[in-house]
Structure 1
């Protein structure tokens, strides 16, 4: 596999030369102590390492394949000290048990002296760490809710944003470097916000998704978006049928053509320009959906996207 390095700047993000190794890439802020390393753990699923570089401590976000993430952590020379989970779906929370001790391996046998039998004693392969997540996240140790805050290492501040709809327990995590307050940082959006799209309404309503995306829209425009899946090519193909004359969608199309890995290449400001699910007030989108009220527009857009085969 290959690894792709991307520079994390205050406005746009540019790609650096490809190097051989695990498929992951890092995003860094100039003079910042925060580093984000996305890890593609399946065909389209992203986990992330959120690294406080001075301390060498990291949080793993949405871990599924623990071994792949650990391999990247070893390569980066960091210790995983926390887990962060955006929602309860297995492809985002499946690795939590390995970090909380609820699932342990390998088996080590001890002797029962009285019965002279071998008894399996399970020892954790990975260190026991706090795992932050919403109310339905499996194997969490720390429940987080809207407005909750915690830190990673000495320099990374994490703020929790409740964004229910895809799941009721969905939480997005806004991360900033406390040593560089001029930088807006990034946001881990799970399956709520994708580049050019949004998640399905499995446990919520169109109105809830509108509210959740509107909450994300209040973050600083240069906040970098780290989403849960690589869906950009399909999202932009759909967006072109909704707003064909929007030049920003043309930029997203070019971005998707030039990059197989697109997470970290968009900002909240970008999404407000090219994500049709965040542009419900635009006349072109109202005409396509035949609706006026935001909830109704959102509901029709989602229906159209669900049936889109382009």
Structure 2
């Protein structure tokens, strides 16, 4: 088993740390800021073994150079399609590749998840999913580079994973996402219950993440575009066109 902990960065980022109790090594995901990682490694007396990168945005990659300076032999594993924008990558991966982490006796499958950025990837090892800015609890990433069809396809790829998949995304956007979701499905009881649950967590200054896929399939409008009732309400005949409208509405939503 892995012990996965979030390190808060910037206003609402999470840098995920992967550790094991009796193991001196640590892996981090999307370290936009090096300081929380360096502090954590010192406190836990861990050595940085690898960095997993989902996409090129600076709030996910900004800490790489300083971490490599501290740990020159660290593996830096990220999207082959974005190597020009992430020059310090040491291992380039894409759909179908498997990342071996022998120090943990774990391996991660790589998924191509275009949409938020064109080269965005995710890492999956049952039940853990690190999906960057593709799938959020109650929401999904903005379309900065890809199309609505691409992001919808990426989300459908994730929706097909086992229901007990734990979703480790990289922003604490949950409450804002749920405020929008309740305007899409105001009568969704599971959504209302989940919103109250997340409000309690935030009141206690606890993360709402990870979420699980079973919950997201019940409450996340961007995973529910196959729902015929929703399609009829918004007068769409396909999941992709409904998804496109919901993404555009979310972009304009003032929560």
TM-score, length of structure 2 as denominator length: 0.92
Tell me what 1:295 maps to: 240
SS across alignment from 1:47: strand
How far residue 51 of structure 1 moved from its aligned partner, in angstroms, is 1.5
Q: Runs in 1 of length 4+ with deviation above 4 angstroms?
A: none
Larger Rg: 1
How far residue 99 of structure 1 moved from its aligned partner, in angstroms, is 3.5
How far residue 288 of structure 1 moved from its aligned partner, in angstroms, is 4.1
Tell me what 1:164 maps to: 114
Report 1:1-310 matches (<5 A): 32=1, 34-100=2-68, 124-134=69-79, 135-137=81-83, 138=86, 139-152=88-101, 153-175=103-125, 184-260=126-202, 261-264=207-210, 266-310=211-255
How far residue 251 of structure 1 moved from its aligned partner, in angstroms, is 2.2
Work out the CA distance in 2 between the residues paired with 1:92 and 1:99: 13
RMSD: 1.5
- Runs (5+) with no aligned partner, structure 1: 1-31, 101-123, 176-183
Work out the CA distance in 1 between the residues paired with 2:107 and 2:25: 13
Q: For 1:104-128, what per-residue CA distance to the aligned partner results, in whole angstroms no more than 9, with x for missing partners?
A: xxxxxxxxxxxxxxxxxxxx33333
CA contact (8 A) 1:64 1:95 kept: yes
Work out the CA distance in 1 between the residues paired with 2:232 and 2:254: 21
Work out the CA distance in 2 between the residues paired with 1:258 and 1:140: 39
SS across alignment from 2:70: coil
SS across alignment from 1:259: helix
Work out the CA distance in 1 between the residues paired with 2:107 and 2:70: 28
SS across alignment from 1:220: coil
CA contact (8 A) 1:35 1:51 kept: yes
TM-score, length of structure 1 as denominator length: 0.76
CA contact (8 A) 2:38 2:67 kept: no
How far residue 285 of structure 1 moved from its aligned partner, in angstroms, is 2.2
How far residue 194 of structure 1 moved from its aligned partner, in angstroms, is 0.2
- Runs (5+) with no aligned partner, structure 2: none
CA contact (8 A) 2:30 2:52 kept: yes
What is the number of equivalent residue pairs in this alignment?
A: 246
Give the structure with the larger helix fraction. 2
Work out the CA distance in 1 between the residues paired with 2:170 and 2:149: 22
